[in-house]
Structure 1
Amino acid sequence: MPPRSRSGEASGALKSDSASPGREQPRQRVIEAAIDLLTREGRDAVTTRAVADAAGLQPPAIYRLFGDKDGLLDAVAEHGFATFLAGKHVNPDPPDPIEDLRAGWDVAVEFGLANPALYTLMYADPTRTTSGAFKAGMEVLMGRIRRLAAGGWLRVDEELAAQIIHATARGAVLTWLSLREDRRDPALFTTLRESMVTAVTNQRPAVREAGAAGAARALRAALPEEATLSPAEQHLLTEWLDRLTADG
């Protein structure tokens, strides 16, 4: 089976936002109409005329609100990122940081499986990763990674860990969606998730086992909360720690 929902985090299906006054109300209607067409009939069905008809507007309204079809698709993708972010439950002090990492990975996969057409649109264009909601979601992930580093669990650099976690979740979903149903094996998810955990974390938070690089990563993660060092001292210490983690 695909990863099960944990702590009510998975979105399942997209929910409509409450209508806001003025310009946002027709804008939201258009986005929801586009998502409905995308979900039921695929990306080719999302034309400006079809979306305008479904939203009860004239086609010129689409151009006034979004500029062009690409602008509309960008808005739909941004809505998807925002919906996923709103459905996340973040524990700032999880009892088990590695299990928290697994849970977050599962939630990302579950969202993609529940919203396949939207998820594919969200990640079809690399430039969409510059959206505000996407960046906010990555900050949630970086928070998980920093907690792992501070506890001595992180095995690799924080940035590399984020790339591995994000790539394995996105790759798992897009690979699953690309396969015929008779070729889909749920072991794909658990195998990729556990491979990700093995790649980015230590089995035990033992600084001795991880060596100087592990100690440096743990200290590096705690630096933003350190108030006794001057900015210049923090900068110099960061350079030293980065060198140690690179050597490790």
Structure 2
Amino acid sequence: MIINKIKKVILDLIFPISCLGCGLEDTWLCATCLKKIPINEHLICPICHKKNNGSFCTKCSKSQSLDGLMVAAPYENNLIQDCIQTLKYKFIKELSSPLSEILARYLRTIDKKYKQPILTNYSQTVLTIVPLHTKRLRERNFNQAELIGQSIKNEFKFNYIPSLLTRQHYTQAQASLSRRDRLKNLNQAFSMPKSLDLSQKNVIIIDDVATTLTTLNECAKVLKQNGCLCVWGLVIARSG
């Protein structure tokens, strides 16, 4: 605890608190700038990007363990990029709150427009996160996906199980790898307790950013091997 407090003091000195959008002091993202961040109002196929219900179309569904993807905001927006990177790499966990608000606003919009069963059938849907290895969790002191998941769970009625998946071995950061190396890097990286019975359940996996979908697909593969019926990804943005 003392070490974490010292880290926070040092971070406050190195990165003075000011809005990433307009520079307003004493907040990482002010209410005005938060409202300016656009959300995606349409669901699309995660591969070919044709408008549909967010699932993989027939042509694009081959070799996918994941069934669909929901992306809250465009990564091309510079402010959303800054927020995600500052949260993730500068360890400013206070940014999880406004990012959770963006995700919640997106879910309300999509739910109203599409009436997705995975969003409305709360009794059949489990909300979880992409896990961090314990070593990386110690380095960062928090899992950004878990902070966001907790906020989403508080607003919606999902059964939230953040420990549904575990990361079995320490892996290299995906952002620095090619697609081929990403697949190799995450091979058998995740596991799920055999004691959990999720047969005939739907699962939504939260992460901050998706790129090639390798991580989400590996998580979905493990979940389906353990009886899950349908698995969707839910991310703040998608890069690449």
Structure 2 length normalisation: TM-score? 0.30
The structure carrying a bigger helix percent of its residues is: 1
The structure carrying a bigger strand percent of its residues is: 2
* Larger Rg computed on CA atoms: 1
